[in-house]
Structure 1
Amino acid sequence: MAKILTRLKQQFSDKKTWLALVAGLVLTFAYAPFGAWPLAFFSIAVLCYCSYQAPVKQAAWYGFIFAIGWFAAGISWVHVSIAQFGGMPLPASIAIMALLVAYLALYPALALALTAFIHKHSGAWLAPLLISFAFSEWLRGTLLTGFPWLSLGYTQTDSPVNILAPMVGEFGLSVLVLAVGYGLYRLFCAKVWQPLVATLATGALVAALATVFNYNQYSGKQLNVALVQGNIKQSMRWQPENFWPTMLKYQDMTRLHWDADLVVWPEAAIPELEQLAGEYLTSLDKAAVFNDTALITGIVDYQYDTRNVYNTLVVVGKKQRDSSAGQYRYLHKNRYRKHQLLPIGEFVPFEDLLRPLAPLFDLPMSSFSRGERVQDNLIANGYHILAAICYEIAFPDLVRDNYRSDSDILFTVSNDAWFGDSHGPHQHMQISRMRALELQRPLVRVTNTGVTGVYDPISQSQLSLAQFDADVLRADVRLISGDSLYAQYGRWPTWLALLCLLGLSLYYSRRVKKSA
């Protein structure tokens, strides 16, 4: 123990440790709602300054301490749900938050350790950094069901380089942030300009290709949509005495908007179990058909025979525009079941052990079953709807796997009341907009308390409701045709480019060693 304390004292007497920590903290301001996207490049430049050519253990330390600042500030909103709704004492909630941040910090630590290791044996540094960081971020989004929140590329959602998103996605933008950050470090600290120029030239070339191979354009069709934000307090959502008042509120808020082509309600807007809400859903189905429209709502489906419980989206009203009949019946196929479940919130690992420990591990509706990974698009009033529920929108491969060429809109629902008036809901909307940029499909996002809005990835314009207001947003959504390159090929072109760069870098470094 004494050795550990001595080692920590030595580490924190190192100025680079504090620089790395501050750089990680500052990185938060590059994300929504702050939007200071250039800070991402300078934060990475500072990280490169701290870790460039450092020994393996020291590089891992700088990566770890940088990520402590990055995630402690960036996902501080998680503490709101733990402390306010998890029923945990303050010291326990802080401890859980600290464990989560420390766990997430292991991935950048791994990236910098791999970079230093490869550099030690090859002499190359930038290419190992890019591929090691890309690999560690892939791991972070995969292991233990994944937590890909706050990937670097999201900082560029509103920057000029977002023109690259339809080609390389958020994954490629993360690589760009790393490369530009390294280039800035080399320019400022070593007066070496070639890495930055090469990165900017490559980015410009990809941007030119994005313009040439832009297969997306407005189709000439548009969809009038009504987004209903109920603003139901989280403390009231699962109280049985509030079920009918909540359902009647959504029904009353919709009454003046049945003339929309599509009406959308948030995640679990209907708090009653689907089997018990059959009469209510049938009534909605008839009202939608009478008004020549369709409605999509979130609801929980508990199947008494199998005891499976699904976080579900169901469509009521017209399936096709030329239909004159409703479609709703229990377990009809025009539905979407959430696949990517939120740990603790929707399923509890080792639940027999954890559930008795604290209310946090025994929240209402925390025993969901997984839907299939790939499901058919919803069809509502003739429109094909690519659906994602809440946390799923942060998983680009999952969303892309469910994309189809005839998908008209990207539709996502959420209940961000868990996170209060924090920056979490704004980050969630930013992530959703990045998915729209990648796939070049208009985004329709409806939530319980906000941020509810629509986003056009071509004009990059957004309409939103104010948070914490019960209101309805009416919008005309211009539909888009064509498949983006990212929609067709995903991350593979970026992975291939990284592997080629690594191979060339290792070959060049070896030749330099031989000629020395």
Structure 2
Amino acid sequence: MQRLRDALYTNGWLRHIVLMLLGASLTFAYSPFTLSFLPLVVLPCVVLIINPLNPKQAFRAGFFFGLGWLGAGLSWILVSIDTYGGMPLIADIAVLALLIIYLSLFPALAFYGWRKLSHKTPYAYFSLVLFWFVCEWLRGWLFTGFPWLQLGYTQTDAWLGGLASSIGQQGITAVLWFIALSIGAALKGSLQNRIYTALLLLIFLTASYLLPQLQPLHRTGDTTSVMLVQGNISQSLKWQADQQWPNMLRYLDLTRPNYQHDIIVWPESAITALEPYADDVLSTIDQSAAMNGAALISGIIDYQITRDEFYNTMIVLGDESGMDGFDTPYQYGSSNRYQKHHLLPIGEFVPFEDLLRPVAPLFNLPMSSFQRGEYTQPNLLANGHRLAAAICYEIVFSDQVRANVNNNTDYLITVSNDTWFGDSHGPWQHMQIARMRAMELGRPLIRSTNNGVSGMADEFGRIIAIAPQFKATTVSAELPVVRGTTWFQRLGNWPACLLAGLSLLPLIRLFNRADRGQSQEKSVQ
């Protein structure tokens, strides 16, 4: 073991290869593989390898770890670039490589800061938790942010997932690094270090069990019958004008026998006709749903003609208030809608579009010129229930989802079109992220997509019903109504910030030593 450590310390390329492989292995900790124990093995190994390095070496080491972790974990992006980008494969790979290189700078900076401070004092050993927290926050904020694949999501189906309702996904990430650093110290340290590590593990595991029991959540005893419609429309056909009506018929045919449900959900842009030009069909759907006492929620593109602006939108048709009848028939521009706020770069807006759009079809995809909706919007009202909405990619932004949930919110709803990513692990990661939002906010989740993963989960993120991928089908379930607010809903990421800040607590010993040294000097004088 010592010889291996020496080899990794002296041979930079060997160290970088090992770190890339360790990072790549973390892909199997996420859905659909869910080997949740992997971070508890991989992260301590990373700590042991990088801890002896100087800051510049640590930066390079962290960069190669990031290449493996983010390169393998986000490899599904290549499916959409290659299939719809209109460029040669080598150019598609180059575009993805540039993205991964950029994202890998953030773990590199975290390890650099850690070793820079640790070189000055051994009491900064745990400061990696804070540096990682700050760098991951930057990754989720700069250039509109891309916080996908954060480490806390690996624990969605694991014991540590119980912390989500208290400290959120970012707090779970901090816990993983505390555990990794403690294991690293125990493996190369004294018996005392091993005892401290065991105590820390016991504290976190106990908290993961107890804190969910202490959350002020309760089920009211009422349930809502919800059905998801999965059209499985090919992306190559979705936006073709001559396929607009056949696509609509598929959703109508799947829905017609199922109007007995309280809420029916179609996925993102299931209706491909622009909303102002779809009045007739929308009015017909509205009347059919209302007559049967159902509310139907669908994705659609809202085109505001006077301003020449497009919005990625969810609208509610049918019984909105929970009282059967036609007292509020559908009208274009009704306020009971949600307009997507956090747009996907390239897919929904193109930065520097005057320069990039002529370069390749990748930068000129259909419907890639959207306007943003407001950051916070009223809940959708469907059959007397209030639903906090998020469209596709923006479910990854926990602060935004949290800002749209209030005490009266019954459910989280997100619609998506993951057809872009084919039979890859991307859609499964997307569902895992959505489930984490349910765990953080203590509300059941409704997720409808074009070809999967469509499903529903309870307030603990446990899947209640799920549809098979790549099949035109429906899936239904009775969702409980939950009341009460989680600590994460009340406090947001502040507990996670505090937890990360505690990593600097050992530095107090450094200041105490300095004070004692000054006192001794004065006494000598």
Aligned to 2:51: 52
Aligned to 1:255: 256
CA distance 1:125–1:195, shift in 2 (3 Å):
farther
Q: Tell me the SS of whatever aligns to 1:184.
A: helix
Aligned to 2:161: 162
**For residues 469-488 of structure 1, what are the structure 2 equivalents within 5 Å?**
469-488=471-490
Aligned to 1:19: 18
> TM (normalized to structure 2)?
0.93
- Relative to structure 2, which stretch is displaced further, 139-148 or 186-195? 186-195
Aligned to 2:282: 281
Is residue 65 of structure 1 aligned with residue 64 of structure 2? yes
Specify the code of the residue in structure 1 equivalent to 2:265: V
Aligned to 2:491: 489
Aligned to 2:512: 511
Please tell me whether the aligned partners of residues 341 and 391 of structure 1 are also in contact (alpha carbons under 8 angstroms).
Answer: yes
Please tell me whether the aligned partners of residues 126 and 179 of structure 1 are also in contact (alpha carbons under 8 angstroms).
Answer: no
Aligned to 2:6: none
Q: Tell me the SS of whatever aligns to 1:331.
A: coil
Aligned to 1:380: 382
Specify the code of the residue in structure 2 equivalent to 1:467: Q
Structure 1 CA distance for aligned equivalents of residues 212 and 94 of structure 2: 49
Please tell me whether the aligned partners of residues 12 and 18 of structure 1 are also in contact (alpha carbons under 8 angstroms).
Answer: no
- Relative to structure 2, which stretch is displaced further, 11-20 or 110-119? 11-20
Is residue 138 of structure 1 aligned with residue 137 of structure 2? yes
- Relative to structure 2, which stretch is displaced further, 194-203 or 469-478? 194-203
Specify the code of the residue in structure 1 equivalent to 2:369: S
> TM (normalized to structure 1)?
0.95
Aligned to 2:173: 174
1:187 deviates by 2.5
Q: Write out per-residue CA displacement over residues 2-32 of structure 1, whole angstroms, 9 at most, x where no aligned residue.
A: xxxxxxxx99744322221111011111001
Please tell me whether the aligned partners of residues 122 and 510 of structure 1 are also in contact (alpha carbons under 8 angstroms).
Answer: no
Please tell me whether the aligned partners of residues 171 and 499 of structure 2 are also in contact (alpha carbons under 8 angstroms).
Answer: no
Is residue 183 of structure 1 aligned with residue 185 of structure 2? no
**For residues 436-475 of structure 1, what are the structure 2 equivalents within 5 Å?**
436-458=438-460, 460-475=462-477
CA distance 1:497–1:179, shift in 2 (3 Å):
closer
Aligned to 1:39: 38
Aligned to 1:4: none
- Relative to structure 2, which stretch is displaced further, 123-132 or 376-385? 123-132
Structure 2 CA distance for aligned equivalents of residues 124 and 309 of structure 1: 54
Aligned to 2:208: 207
Please tell me whether the aligned partners of residues 42 and 184 of structure 1 are also in contact (alpha carbons under 8 angstroms).
Answer: no
Q: Tell me the SS of whatever aligns to 2:175.
A: helix
Any stretches of 5+ residues in structure 1 without a counterpart? 1-9
**For residues 82-481 of structure 1, what are the structure 2 equivalents within 5 Å?**
82-190=81-189, 192-204=193-205, 206-207=207-208, 210-211=211-212, 213-325=214-326, 326-458=328-460, 460-481=462-483
Please tell me whether the aligned partners of residues 31 and 427 of structure 1 are also in contact (alpha carbons under 8 angstroms).
Answer: yes
Q: Write out per-residue CA displacement over residues 248-298 of structure 1, whole angstroms, 9 at most, x where no aligned residue.
A: 111111001100000000000000100111111111110111001110000
Specify the code of the residue in structure 2 equivalent to 1:476: E
1:116 deviates by 1.1
Structure 1 CA distance for aligned equivalents of residues 503 and 267 of structure 2: 44
Any stretches of 5+ residues in structure 2 without a counterpart? 1-8, 518-525
Please tell me whether the aligned partners of residues 176 and 199 of structure 1 are also in contact (alpha carbons under 8 angstroms).
Answer: no
Structure 1 CA distance for aligned equivalents of residues 228 and 508 of structure 2: 55
Structure 2 CA distance for aligned equivalents of residues 372 and 206 of structure 1: 36
- Relative to structure 2, which stretch is displaced further, 456-465 or 429-438? 456-465
Q: Tell me the SS of whatever aligns to 2:161.
A: helix
How many residue pairs align between the two structures?
506
1:513 deviates by 6.6
Q: Write out per-residue CA displacement over residues 334-364 of structure 1, whole angstroms, 9 at most, x where no aligned residue.
A: 0000000000000000000000000000000
Structure 2 CA distance for aligned equivalents of residues 28 and 11 of structure 1: 28
1:512 deviates by 4.8
Structure 1 CA distance for aligned equivalents of residues 296 and 510 of structure 2: 60
Structure 2 CA distance for aligned equivalents of residues 340 and 292 of structure 1: 33
Structure 1 CA distance for aligned equivalents of residues 73 and 494 of structure 2: 28
Specify the code of the residue in structure 2 equivalent to 1:254: T
Please tell me whether the aligned partners of residues 438 and 461 of structure 2 are also in contact (alpha carbons under 8 angstroms).
Answer: no
1:195 deviates by 4.8
Specify the code of the residue in structure 1 equivalent to 2:322: R
Q: Tell me the SS of whatever aligns to 2:146.
A: coil
Please tell me whether the aligned partners of residues 438 and 460 of structure 2 are also in contact (alpha carbons under 8 angstroms).
Answer: no
Q: Percent identity?
A: 43
Please tell me whether the aligned partners of residues 186 and 195 of structure 1 are also in contact (alpha carbons under 8 angstroms).
Answer: no
1:511 deviates by 3.5
Please tell me whether the aligned partners of residues 168 and 496 of structure 2 are also in contact (alpha carbons under 8 angstroms).
Answer: no
Q: Tell me the SS of whatever aligns to 2:278.
A: helix
1:318 deviates by 1.4
